[in-house]
Amino acid sequence: MNSAKRHEIFACLKLANPHPTTELEYHSPFELLIAVILSAQATDKSVNLATRKLFPKANTPEKILALGEAGLTEFIKSIGLYKTKAKNILATCQLLMQQHLSEVPRTREQLEKLPGVGRKTANVILNTAFGEPTIAVDTHIFRIANRTGIAPGKNVLEVELKLLKVVPKEFRLDAHHWLILHGRYVCKARKPECAVCTINHLCEFKDKKI
């Protein structure tokens, strides 16, 4: 895999989807933060079903804290690990009010201090809410980076740092969304749909079937 091939891969992904974005529904950085915390080990679809009911009632740290643990749980109990997520969200709301004037912080260091927020979640917020060229490596992106040869690595941090190094600058802002959507709908874990893949002529997957 060389730089010219990587450039063509992202050019193809951009041509197919010029303006990619998250499938989580949100209208503010705070709503996105809550949605991303809820999305851990859950589908975006299940999160959206819950937040469509939650956000009209409570979409600020103050309003979510006012719900209390029992009230918040009623909205999110259909999502996996909802008990832990409810505790983390309430603790995060408390910190946002105490330390950040109820605003979502704009640095990785401050974001990662929030309960329920790790490096991946921080990267999503920085990229999607604040337009930073970060790449949050989830299972889809980890798989594609290794399978295609774009940025092979033994762990998610290694893949993230390699992607930031090798993805051409002009594509870096949207690379996260292109890769995650490609992994979700085309380059699937068990049965990659190589025949309809827009980058199958560039991919270095040894077992691809076209």
CA dist 173 and 192 (Å) reads 25
CB 69 within 8 Å of CB 86: yes
H or E segment at 24?
Answer: none
**Number of other residues whose CB lies within 10 A of the CB of residue 34:** 30
Active-site entry in 45, 138, 191, 209? 138
Task: List b or e across 64-80, with b for residues whose CB sees 16 or more CB atoms inside 10 angstroms.
Answer: bbebeeeebeebbeebe
DSSP helix, strand, coil percent of the chain (3-state; round to 5): 60, 0, 40
Active-site entry in 77, 87, 120, 208? 120
Q: Is 120 noted as a catalytic residue in this protein? A: yes
Q: Is 138 noted as a catalytic residue in this protein? A: yes
Phi, psi of 109 (to 5 degrees): -60, -45
Catalytic residues: 120, 138
